[in-house]
Structure 1
């Protein structure tokens, strides 16, 4: 099979259209089998349909790369099975489906080393051997716009080299122009993405990702923010070797996310708290954060620190936006329904004459973010993120019609991507903590509730 990436807008649109149509037909077939078949036959048909659907999605989106592949990665973080009968699919089948989709993070169809080597040597203007004493031809990861390799510099340092797919910048811009079709695919597979501003925001930032010099700058900002941190580590950027199409950083040794998820509960709980502190804490404390929390970006180092990777999607929120987020959390946590609705109206999220009542606003917040608002130890179940997302988008809820025409500003849609992405990670870890007490450090400026919180407070004091 050719590893040439299709860059034509028309051809990429046609591939997406075929995928959308195929999944819609497959979904209808499974739904019909649920109605007509017996239990054993229904299970067998569903199993075959899910296997075929996952294979199609990984093959098509993985080979397309770009924004199309990013859409598939988003699907694997949540629950793309509504079209196939969300309430009727056995958990083990759902798990196998999502495991296959998860291949889009690090086992997607690869581009040959010869073609990727040409990208490196073109950008550097010299042979590979003049820069690296060793360069492993097999990539350690295949992402949406590039592949990652392990290499060794002439000074002996082991590095991670992310190389952009040839022609991916053209493909990404084609995907942005095909945004309506991409959104249609998301609607077919996961209705919650129907015309969601988050996807528009994502596409805007994704165009910037095709210049690795921008990502290197984002990476340096985050590395500076967390340098010397007791349990969060950001690999250093090798700035002199970063170009438009090549990004070089320190190599992060350690356990991958799926290995962490199989570790004992105390380890998973600790990593879960660190994950929350990094993604949510960066946004609420520093106003700068990465918008791509997913398993491929997390490594547990041998010394117990958690290493975070990939800063192509990077966001800065101003103080007003962050204060609005925290005002809403405080009002919801304290059951001040009228104040919560007033915040939403004054900020422009909710129309003053919208039929959504104060009590409905409060109930919606607790149903989709109860894990963060409840002052109790909570072990996050595997389905927490998709349940929250579908709760918010469930047309059977009495507040659905009241909110369907309301649109939050783009930066807050991006914040929800971080919230639900973080929740999905905690669910995959099955992590437990009093998440509300951790969040109070940022939202109420409260004293730390955990040992990690005390360590972080000491670090903040020393690095003020």
Structure 2
């Protein structure tokens, strides 16, 4: 992504921040002239209006903003319902990146052609997120795997987005001291860049498996102290591509499927708590 596009991203983000800020300041002024019975409705409309504005911008910008929006959609303890209801749409998969980009990244990272790496590669991704997308594939030895491929140029975008987010949070803390989100954004600035190196994710996956005493789906380990979950084997990793053993599963919020397969939800809660 060129400097021009990065500059345009910054302009769009800061423009939206100013628009939302001025909208709320306007509501603060207007509420002085309306009855208390109407103030609640006025604020709810403002929240809905600005939540939709922010959602539209996040979808347009992608990058770090999607990840931040997903996080915000889980914070019902902090944000008004309008933001939770709108931003939870970001939990769904994003539009996929072009296959040419995906193939190019894989081949560049491993220094081999697709035919030298895979017996089969499913072009339609299982999911597309803010940093990468995931495809099913079959290795030359017949093993089913998933291939996580980082979006081309996303590192530059993420680092720029972090700078912009930090600037906005600093500005809000200066203008409205009661809204100081610096601890949160400082943690993001520290941790988010780590997600851009899939070697670290591979290392963390192995560490979690070891710490929890987990087994893989081919293992007969019956250690009573282990946590009863399956962790996929790491097959191969580079900075931008991660190949893992394929494991089918059900999302924890897919209650219909959990019921259909007779999943013991109490058991899930217990194992998560133990972990």
TM-score (norm 2): 0.74
Aligned equivalent of 2:148: 162
Pair 1:218–1:44, CA change in 2 (3 A): same
Verify the 8 A CA contact 1:8 1:171 in the aligned structure 2.
Answer: no
Equivalent residue in structure 2 for 1:10, among 4, 7, 14: 7
1:259 maps to 254
| Corresponding residue number in structure 2 for 1:345 | none
Matched, 1:171 2:157: yes
Check 1:214–1:18 CA distance in 2 against 1; reply closer, same or farther (3 A cut): same
Equivalent residue, structure 1, for 2:211: 225
* Deviation readout 1:209-261 (Å, 9 max, x if unpaired): 2121122112221122232335222211112xx11110111223111122148
Contact kept in structure 2, 1:113 and 1:137, CA below 8 Å? yes
What's the counterpart of residue 119 of structure 2?
A: 133
| CA displacement, residues 179-220 of structure 1 (integer Å, 9 cap, x when unaligned) | 4235359879xx766221x43122222212212112211222
Instruction: For residue 232 of structure 1, give the secondary structure of its aligned residue in structure 2.
Output: coil
Secondary structure in 2 aligned to 1:155? coil
Which residue in the other structure is 1:194 paired with?
181
Counterparts in 2 of 1:36-55, with a 5 A limit?
46=44, 50=48, 53-55=50-52
SS of alignment partner, residue 134 of structure 2: strand
**Unmatched 5+ residue regions in structure 2?**
216-225
Q: TM-score normalised to the size of structure 1?
A: 0.47
* Distance in 2 between residues matched to 1:69 and 1:126, nearest whole Å: 32
1:153 alignment counterpart: 139
Distance 1:100 1:107, change over 3 A: farther
Match status 1:207 vs 2:193:
yes
CA drift at 1:25: 4.6
Deviations 1:320-378 (A, max 9, x none): xxxxxxxxxxxxxxxxxxxxxxxxxxxxxxxxxxxxxxxxxxxxxxxxxxxxxxxxxxx
Contact 1:67 1:203 in 2 (8 A): no
The separation in 1 between residues aligned to 2:27 and 2:114, in whole angstroms, is 51
- Go from structure 1 to structure 2 and tell me whether the alpha carbon gap of 1:38 and 1:205 turns closer, same or farther (over 3 Å shift): closer
Structure 1 unpaired stretches of 5+: 87-93, 279-464
How far is 1:266 from its partner?
8.6
Structure 1 counterpart of 2:99? 113
SS of structure 2 residue aligned to 1:144: coil
Q: Secondary structure at the match of 2:169?
A: helix
Q: Hey, what does 2:233 align to over in structure 1?
A: 236
Residue 30 of structure 1: how far off its partner (Å) = 7.0
Question: Partner of 2:147: helix, strand, or coil?
Answer: strand
1: CA distance, partners of 2:125 / 2:53 = 23
CA distance in 1, matches of 2:5, 2:156: 8
| Alpha carbons of structure 1 residues 39 and 259: separation in structure 2 relative to 1, 3 Å | farther
Distance 2:63 2:131 in 1: 5
Residue pair 1:208, 1:214 contacting (<8 A) in 2 also? yes
Q: Render the CA deviation track for 1:124-162: whole Å, top value 9, x for unaligned.
A: 223223322222222222223111222222222222211
2:252 and 2:116 map into 1 onto residues whose CA distance is 34
Q: Deviations over 1:3-43 (max 9, x none)?
A: x798955333222212323433555677759x859999x87
Q: What SS does the corresponding residue of 2:136 show, helix, strand or coil?
A: strand
Which residue in the other structure is 1:143 paired with? 129
The reply on whether 1:70 has 2:67 as its aligned counterpart is yes
Partner Cα distance (1:143, 1:7) in 2: 24
Give the deviation of 1:117 after TM superposition: 2.2
Q: How does 1:235-384 map to 2 (within 5 A)?
A: 235-239=232-236, 242-260=237-255, 263=258, 267-278=264-275
Secondary structure in 1 matching 2:155? helix
SS state of the match for residue 122, structure 1?
helix
Given the superposition, is the C-alpha separation of residues 178 and 49 from structure 1 closer, same or farther in structure 2, using an over 3 Å criterion? closer
Would you say how many aligned residue pairs link Structure 1 and Structure 2? 256
